[in-house]
A = this chain, B = another copy of it.
Amino acid sequence: MQLNFAMEENLEKIIAELNELIERDDIKTIVMLVEDRHPVEISEIIDHLVEERKRYLFQLLDAKMAADVLQEVSDLTRDQLLEEIEASRLAKIVDEMASDDAADIIGELPSPLAEEVLGLINDEQAQALRQLLRYDEESAGGIMTKVFVSVPEDATVQEAIDQIRATVNQAESIYSLYVTDRRGVLVGGLSLAQLVLSKPQEKISQIMNADVVSVPTDMDQEQVATLVEKYDLASVPVVDRAGRLVGRITVDDVVDVIVEEASEDISKMAGTTDEEIRQDSALRIAGLRLPWIVISLLGGILSGTIISRFRLTLGSLLALAFFIPVITAMGGNIGIQSSTIVVRGLATGEIGLLHIARRILREVRIGLLMGLMCGGIVGLVAFVWQGNPLLGVIVGSAMLSAITVAATMGVLVPLFFRKINIDPAMATGPFVTMTNDIVGLFIYFGLAVMLLKLLG
């Protein structure tokens, strides 16, 4: 099918229709309306209903469709759908999922409900899920699936094909198969394309690729994503400490990780968390944003005390106050520009921890360049506007210094955070803005006092 990209417009119509049908409780027509749609479309529709109608429509889906929809809806909707679900219904839905997706859902349930659901599904699947639930949610073990095809080294191509036949109806797509020795240790891999081109009686050990990239269960999901991205893998096998094959991560899960990590970084840089997107309550969102807001409130008050220490100077040259916002704004912007580039470069691996001195020096040069320019402009404006050359010198040189310091801090702070293993994304946004405000004001008024004494 060609996808219908005018969907955003149609969506409103479908939702209006559905809302009407739900009001009339016309289940038959509703089922007809959603029956042949792709799970992605139904998820989008559900995302746009009010909370109780989300549950109403979800209840009408069969278990297979409900399983697909539950993975596609927004986080907020998923929480709402799971809030009042019965264990028996959820067990049926979970039974239709790949093990990694099922573990994600069960991992988010309150533990009595999780136990009840695990008790209701078949033992083999329940055991696999319990195993997966033991891994950290953000590790390779936490995002891997138990659905994979593995064959012993001495198997033939025909035996491998039979193995695929036994596995393939189980959800996620198979692109390659893995080869293990007698102890279950991963010794090779084979793409399906290679398999297709081989004769049924050929030995797997002769056609396999012994150089297969694998990851340990405890590797951080972000590292897994970087690896898959770098090596252009479609899936990657997961091994335990003894090298035994225990799972497989597919690239679609890696794509989710990449999107999630980017959102996380962006939110952190803005001084909030991406949890926000799944929150509906203004009070809770305010709570999430609060920590940085309180810190920058204190920073702002600290800035105020700096100005107050210079109140005599300010009283004697009131025009100094006019340039407070431009000094703080420029320092903040320049600091955020350079820290953002460093934070993002560190996240994507484009900036390593080598050649750091060169990078810092370059940033100092950029700061000087921009400082000279901006300082020149604003100094000239101050001079012409207020007819006071001394004010021009103070404002211009303060701007030059503040910008240079801001650019340098913008590169130093995230590198330093990375070095001491704090997420560098925390180093930009409110933190950089706040420190640059304080430092900038100190430079500004400090220079004002000095130059007024010297030249005034």
Within 8 Å by CB of A259, from B3, B229, B369, lies B229
Contact A270 B336 (CB under 8 A): yes
Q: A161-B197, A255-B228 are known contacts. Are A263 and B322 too (CB-CB below 8 A)? A: no
A165, A215, A334: residue with the most chain B Cβ atoms closer than 10 Å: A334
Residues of A15-29 at the interface with B, using a CB-CB cut-off of 8 Å, are: 15
Kindly provide the distance from the CB of A325 to the nearest chain B CB, expressed in whole angstroms: 4
Chain B CB within 8 A of A59 CB: no
Chain B CB within 8 A of A53 CB: no
Contact B345 A270 (CB under 8 A): no
Which stretch in A82-90, A118-126, A134-142, A312-320 binds the other chain? Answer: A312-320
Chain B CB within 8 A of A452 CB: no
Chain B CB within 8 A of A453 CB: no
Residues of A289-327 at the interface with B, using a CB-CB cut-off of 8 Å, are: 289-290, 292-293, 296-297, 299-301, 303-305, 307-308, 311, 314-315, 318-319, 321-327
Q: How distant is the Cα of A323 from the Cα of B168 in the complex, in angstroms?
A: 66
A164, A216, A286, A315: residue with the most chain B Cβ atoms closer than 10 Å: A286
Q: From A327, which residue of chain B is reached at the shortest CB distance?
A: B300
Contact B161 A174 (CB under 8 A): no
Q: From A41, which residue of chain B is reached at the shortest CB distance?
A: B230
Q: From A165, which residue of chain B is reached at the shortest CB distance?
A: B197
0/1 per residue, A104-130, Cβ < 8 Å to B? Answer: 000000000000000000000000000
Contact A251 B255 (CB under 8 A): yes
Contact B282 A340 (CB under 8 A): no
0/1 per residue, A225-250, Cβ < 8 Å to B? Answer: 00111111110000100010000000
Chain B CB within 8 A of A35 CB: no
Specify which chain B residues have a CB less than 8 angstroms from the CB of A15 in the assembled complex: 354
Which are the 10 A-B pairs with shortest beta-carbon distances?
A300-B326, A270-B340, A303-B325, A262-B262, A304-B322, A282-B365, A232-B252, A192-B192, A286-B369, A321-B321
